[in-house]
Structure 1
Amino acid sequence: MKKIYVIRHCEADGQPPESKLTVNGLKQALELSEFFSEMKIDRIISSPYKRAIDSIDPLAKRLNIEIELDRKLTERILSTRNLPDWLEKLRTTFNIMELKFEGGECSQAAMERIVEVAEEIFNGEKENTIIVTHGNLMSLLLKYYKNDFGFDDWKKLSNPDVFLLRNENNEVTFERVWK
């Protein structure tokens, strides 16, 4: 049975790719390392954003596993314009998957790129893989495997958060495993 641990990055001080973890986020990264310390992990793949890499770096060092970077795991851009009602617009994109705002990416396209990563892992040789990504993208992956995962579930995610996806006999199920 193949397993993918999908991690939402730890608490960060912003949204740009270079945003750093907060002091609390650095503590959370150590907690993540401890959380996975007894688990067999074969591979770690991360968004190239600094906050994602820094969230998993303590574990990668502990396990002596190189972090592979994959641009398909970067956060989805809702729009390049400032949207005062961005939260309501984001809610709508969970229901209208092809909806796209100026300079942004629709939910369907974002979903397809993270699902591509997950399917490559499930079809690969490694048994236990960690992927580190961002909240919206994580939600879209979970929605792909269980269509009723939506906006309200996204709002309940924590920083960090961890879901375990299992592929058994070509059926993917998931559960939240973070405390």
Structure 2
Amino acid sequence: MKHIYLVRHCQATGQAAEAPLTTSGVEQAEQLVPFFDTHPIDRIVSSPFRRAIATIQPLAEERGLMIEQDQRLEERVLSGQPMEDWLDRLRDTFDDLSLCYRGGESSKTAIHRVNELLKEVLSGDANHIVLVSHGCLLTLLMKSVDDQFGFKEWQQLSNPDVFLLTCTENDRHIKRIWS
């Protein structure tokens, strides 16, 4: 059985790849250390975005684990240009997984990207893995496992947020464990 902890990054100053955590976000990252006290962790894989790495850095240091960076955990790009009605357009991509805006990535493509990483993680030796990423991409990953996840569930995510994906040979189950 594999236990995969899906961690959404802590509060950040913005959406750019180099956006740091806010003061509150730094405190949230520190709170993740005792949160994981009762959870064994063998491996940590993170989006290379600064806010994702900073989210898991305190836990990695406390456990003496290296943070592996993987571009497949980067946030999904909705569009290559600003969209005033981006929230409505994002909702549309949860309804039509093939919908792709100019310069962006469809939900279907993002799901494929992150599921390639998930397959590798599931075939590896580690049994307790932390994946650190971003709200939209994590929601799409969860949607690929359980179709109940969608736009509404994305809106309800917190910074940070933690879900446990439990995988056996024949079954996958997702449960929110952050409170």
Q: TM-score range by the shorter chain?
A: over 0.9
Q: How does 1:54-93 map to 2 (within 5 A)?
A: 54-93=54-93
Q: How does 1:10-29 map to 2 (within 5 A)?
A: 10-29=10-29
Tell me which residue corresponds to 2:148: 148
- For the residues of structure 1 that align with 2:33 and 2:99, how far apart are their CA atoms? 37
Q: Does 1:164 align with 2:161?
A: no
Question: 1:20: Cα distance to partner?
Answer: 0.3
- 2:110 is aligned with what amino acid? A
- 1:8 is aligned with what amino acid? R
Provide structure 1 residue ranges, at least 5 long, that are not aligned to the other structure.
Answer: none
- For the residues of structure 2 that align with 1:170 and 1:133, how far apart are their CA atoms? 25
Question: 1:118: Cα distance to partner?
Answer: 1.4
Contact 1:37 1:59 in 2 (8 A): no
CA deviation profile, 1:25-48 (whole Å, cap 9, x unmatched)? 000000111111232100000000
RMSD: 0.7
- For the residues of structure 1 that align with 2:45 and 2:142, how far apart are their CA atoms? 17
- Extract structure 1 runs of 4+ deviating beyond 6 A: none
- For the residues of structure 2 that align with 1:38 and 1:156, how far apart are their CA atoms? 25
What TM-score does the superposition give when structure 2 sets the normalisation length? 0.98
- 1:145 is aligned with what amino acid? V
Tell me which residue corresponds to 1:110: 110
Question: 1:135: Cα distance to partner?
Answer: 0.1
CA deviation profile, 1:142-178 (whole Å, cap 9, x unmatched)? 0001112110000000000000001123311110000
What TM-score does the superposition give when structure 1 sets the normalisation length? 0.98
- For the residues of structure 2 that align with 1:5 and 1:158, how far apart are their CA atoms? 15
- 1:156 is aligned with what amino acid? Q
Q: Does 1:122 align with 2:114?
A: no
Provide structure 2 residue ranges, at least 5 long, that are not aligned to the other structure.
Answer: none
Tell me which residue corresponds to 1:8: 8
